[in-house]
Amino acid sequence: MAHSLSIVIPMYREQDNVGPMLARVHEGLAAYPGPWELICVDDGSLDETGKRLLAEGAKYGPHVRVIRFARNNGQTTAMQAGIDAARGDVIATLDGDLQNDPADIPRMVEEMHARDLDLLTGYRANRQDAWMSRKLPSKLANRLIARVTGVKIRDYGCSLKVYRASVIKQVRLYGEMHRFIPVWAAMVTSPTRIGETAVGHSARQFGESKYGISRTFRVVLDLLTVFFFLRFRARPGHFFGSIGLALGFVGTAAMSWLGVVKFVLGEPIGGRPLFLIAVLLLVFSIQFLTTGLIAEMLSRVFYQRTEGPLTVADGAAGLADDSWRQLRDLQQPPTMLASEEAERSRA
């Protein structure tokens, strides 16, 4: 069975890569046996990226869909917008800098279903990037993420991934969480259904990279959030409660000792630093315990509203729409129909 495929490409300040990228996608998907669409998201670029996407997309037909943000919101938000707009039962994502090869997508779709996976992520076996500014931070981040989360993926930074739409649409991305997609996916499916495969990688030809060694520090901050949701999303009271109990135990022990000093030894304790520390520890303990209770109540409300089995099923919704690129379309020359987005921009 040929699966309907949606390709999502977020782009920001990539005006020189627009034309080559669309051409590479159509070359790489020329023999894809099922219907497919291309969703390009312009993340509020201040250059000609958005206009060129509309112009180039109109040359290929309505299966090229363009989403434009009024301002820059980040790659994660752009990727989420593309995933929300995707209609295929398989979704592929890749960067718009021409470093990923769209020709890998058909093979990855076939491999994902052959291996019965829900997510197949690529890893750049022969990465063409600077060692100090790109490779080193990436290696450090990948090892740290794998160690903390337990999801063993060797290249979290590779945007070339293929998902079952029924799984990835259950995941909501925000902030800069796109690099943690395998971890978020592991919350709605088994980690054993997440795999990886080697993909091609090319050096950047146009534009400038938006990544650098400073991203490593952001990864650490995001990793704290991921760790909390991965381990304590369904039981936040255990996280806050354990801290509160630990602080309460230390504070109670300090107060007990001061009680012995006061009532047994008869020494004054009002001016001792330990007294103030013990009081603060007990106050902090109560705060953490009450925060844990509130978090538990919010968690219960959340799960009551979203309860239901997490199922994975292939679908064919939207296939009646003729705005898909299909293999038979290659028998005809490209049309010059303007996309809906182009018509709205002219209106």
Angstrom distance (rounded) from CA 263 to CA 267: 8
Strands 90-93 and 5-11, sheet pairing:
parallel
12 contacts 98 by C-beta, under 8 angstroms: no
Among 171, 149, 169, residue whose Cα is nearest residue 226: 149
pLDDT of residue 215: 60
Mean pLDDT by groups of 10 residues along the chain of 347 residues: 89 91 94 94 93 94 94 90 94 89 94 95 75 64 74 83 94 80 87 90 60 61 78 86 95 94 87 92 96 88 59 45 68 46 49
pLDDT of residue 322: 67
206 contacts 192 by C-beta, under 8 angstroms: no
Among 54, 41, 39, residue whose Cα is nearest residue 10: 41
pLDDT of residue 337: 42
Angstrom distance (rounded) from CA 254 to CA 274: 7
CA 288-296-310 angle, 5° bins: 140
pLDDT of residue 318: 46
Strand order in the sheet with 36-42: 64-68, 36-42, 5-11, 90-93, 161-164, 119-124, 194-199
Cα dist. 121→32, 40, 117, 156, 196 in Å? 19, 20, 10, 8, 5
